[in-house]
Amino acid sequence: MKSFIVLSLAIMIYGGLRAQHKLEKLWETDSIVAVPESVLPDLKKGILFISLIDGGGWDADGKGGIGKLGLDGKNYDSAWITGLNAPKGSGIVGNRLYVADISEVVVIDIKNGKIEKKIAIDSAKGLNDIAITDKGIVYVSDSRTTKVWRLENDIPTLYLDSMKGVNGLKAIGDDLYIGSGKLFLKVDSKKQITKIAEVVQGIDGIEPIGNGDFVLSAWLGYIWYVYADGRVETLLETHEQKRNTADIGYDAQKRILYVPTFNAKTVVAYSLK
């Protein structure tokens, strides 16, 4: 009996230790980033692409753009791409950066730093996040019309409808992971929907850890670690300080999380422990 109790305690202690993930701050920029909504790491180029709203969250005012920042938080270029409206999620296919911008998907030639084209999405009112498959298929969410669009060869077709509060997207293999309000969902190639977890605020960013687990963010100021079995662990709460945590980026090799703080106008890097 004694050995059984000792073993049980050891298992409980090990399980408790295993569950204690945390974020350790590495660096933060000055408050000079013009309303950053998303951060997309390009690890090969050593660059963070930052969507800059620089105005109202859904205003078609031409004030938005894309900035560039080094992976160390230095060498900030605030005007790499200008003339957008309220750019949000982005993704890379080859030499092209795809950016969601209210009613259009903007395609940017990365090498030349120029807008190549703008793809209008029929009836779109609030294009928000972008996910790209390893085959170059682009998915984009429309938070205002509850739809998810699919772009193949830059031609949009409706993929999902009636996805309440849809925002964050992430494509892994044949599966599309979706933040639909507070629900974290997986949609397979047959459009079968499986609920993974539920959190306390609407999901913005979705980043896979690489072992079946995920890190999720909510714009209001929450970051969670979500296990593959649906368990949720809070990593960061900044909502009381009114510091947003919008569409995050992640370096899976170095386990570094990049967080755009939106109204706080900074980008923060954290080490995931």
Q: What would the pLDDT profile of 31-82 be if each residue is shown by its tens digit?
A: 999 999 999 999 999 999 999 999 999 999 999 999 999 999 999 999 999 9
Q: How confident is the model at residue 11 (pLDDT cuts 50, 70, 90)?
A: very low
Reported pTM: 0.93
CA distance 96 to 19: 38
Asked whether residue 208 is domain-assigned, the answer is yes
Asked whether residue 263 is domain-assigned, the answer is yes
CA distance 57 to 162: 22
CATH of the domain at 121: 2.120.10.30
Q: What is the mean pLDDT of the chain?
A: 94
- In total, how many domains does the chain have? 1
124-152 mean pLDDT = 98
Q: What count of Cα atoms within 13 Å lies in the side-chain half-sphere of residue 149?
A: 28
DSSP annotation of 271 = E
Domain membership of residue 250 as a residue range = 24-272
Q: What would the pLDDT profile of 143-153 be if each residue is shown by its tens digit?
A: 999 999 999 99
Q: What would the pLDDT profile of 74-94 be if each residue is shown by its tens digit?
A: 999 999 999 999 999 999 999
Distance (Å) of CA 121 to CA 133, 139, 161, 220: 19, 12, 14, 27
